């Protein structure tokens, strides 16, 4: 069994196993949870991700502290229950966990608003993972690029991405809140995406 120290090199970059597969601490935890119902792995994952989930729940400041804790519980339980569906070769652990947190938060908002709907956020989520090796590789490269380039974004662009993704605000809500024209919000988002090299393929 791999330990945390085995899965990263000296600079904290993910290592790759003999078959060229990506190994990182959180993929490893999810795999151990699914295979062995490993509670120590779950605890490690909880200590890292629960504080991020709580921050995510509280950003935009629409949820009370109690609801934030409720959300953390719900997401962490889901992560435990669904760990068997995580495929380390096709998905990144952080994206997989973030997606669950995002969907649960949306569902919680809707529950609190007494939204009567037959659909959950997961039902309308983009769930399909590509089967094709070159697409998977391409996605991994793009992910690494996003991670390193995101630190270089100018403040105004980083701030708007934070409002859009962490606070879950629409572009027009962001425009109202910052008192900036909608067109400016959209162009800042687009400039940021351009710098991160995210674009529509045509």
Partner 1 sequence: MTDFHPDLDLITEYTAGSLPLAQAACVSVHVNQCHRCQRTAGQLSDLGASLFEAQEPVPVGDDLLNLVLEKLDDEKPLEYAKPQNSSGTPALLQRLMRGDFSDLNWRNIGSTLRISHLKTGDPDHEFALYHIRAGGRIPEHTHRGTEMTLILEGGFSDANGSYHKGDFLIRRPGDVHAPTALQSEDCICLAVLDAPLKFTDWKFRWMNPFLKLHSA
Give residues 101-160 in contact with partner 1 (rule: CB under 8 A): 101-103, 105-106, 109-110, 112-119, 121, 123-128, 130, 135, 138-139, 142-143, 146-147, 150
Give the bridge partners for 23, in sequence order.
Answer: 15
Stretch that binds partner 1, among 3-11, 13-21, 75-83 (CB under 8 A): 75-83
Residue 15 as a binder of partner 1 (CB under 8 A): the answer is no
Separation between Cα atoms, residue 73 and residue 145, nearest integer Å: 32
* Region 82-101 residues binding partner 1, contact defined as CB under 8 A: 92, 94-95, 97-99, 101
Q: Which of 2, 4, 15, 77 binds partner 1 (CB under 8 A)?
A: 77
Q: Is there binding between residue 178 and partner 1 (CB under 8 A)?
A: no
Closest to partner 1 by CB, 18 vs 114, is: 114
Query: Smaller CB distance to partner 1: residue 10 or 114?
Result: 114
Angle at 111 between CA 107 and CA 113, to 5 degrees: 120
Shortest Å, Cβ 124 to partner 1? 4
Residue number, 12 or 18, with CB nearest to partner 1: 12
36: phi then psi, degrees, rounded to nearest 5:
-115, 10
Provide, rounded to whole angstroms, the least separation between the CB of residue 18 and partner 1: 26
Residue in 23, 50, 178, 191 binding partner 1, rule: CB under 8 A: 50
Q: How far is the CB of 199 from partner 1 (least distance, A)?
A: 7
The DSSP annotation for 42-102 comes to HHHHHHHHHHHHHHHHHTTS-S-HHHHHHHHHHHHHHHHHHGGG--TTTS-HHHHHHHHHH
Yes or no: say if 99 and 125 are a contact pair by the CB < 8 Å rule: yes
3-state secondary structure of 182: helix
DSSP H or E segment with residue 23: strand 22-23
């Amino acid at each position: 069994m791999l330990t945390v120290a085995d899965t990263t090199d000296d600079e904290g970059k993910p290592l790759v196993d003999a078959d060229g597969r990506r190994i990182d601490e959180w993929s490893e935890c999810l795999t151990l949870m699914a295979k062995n119902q490993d509670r120590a792995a779950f605890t490690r994952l909880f200590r890292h991700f629960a504080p991020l989930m709580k921050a995510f729940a509280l950003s935009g400041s629409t949820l009370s502290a109690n609801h934030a804790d409720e959300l953390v519980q719900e997401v962490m339980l889901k992560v435990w229950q669904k760990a068997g569906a995580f495929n380390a070769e096709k998905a990144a652990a952080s994206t997989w966990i973030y997606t669950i947190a995002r969907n649960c938060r949306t569902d919680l908002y809707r529950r609190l608003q007494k939204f009567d709907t037959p659909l959950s956020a997961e039902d309308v989520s983009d769930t399909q993972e590509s089967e094709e090796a070159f697409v998977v590789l391409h996605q991994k490269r793009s992910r690494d690029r996003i991670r390193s380039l995101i630190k270089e974004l100018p403040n105004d662009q980083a701030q708007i991405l934070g409002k859009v993704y962490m606070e879950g605000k629409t572009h027009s809500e962001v425009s109202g809140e910052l008192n900036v024209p909608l067109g400016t919000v959209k162009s800042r988002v687009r400039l940021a995406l351009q710098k991160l090299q995210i674009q529509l393929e045509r």
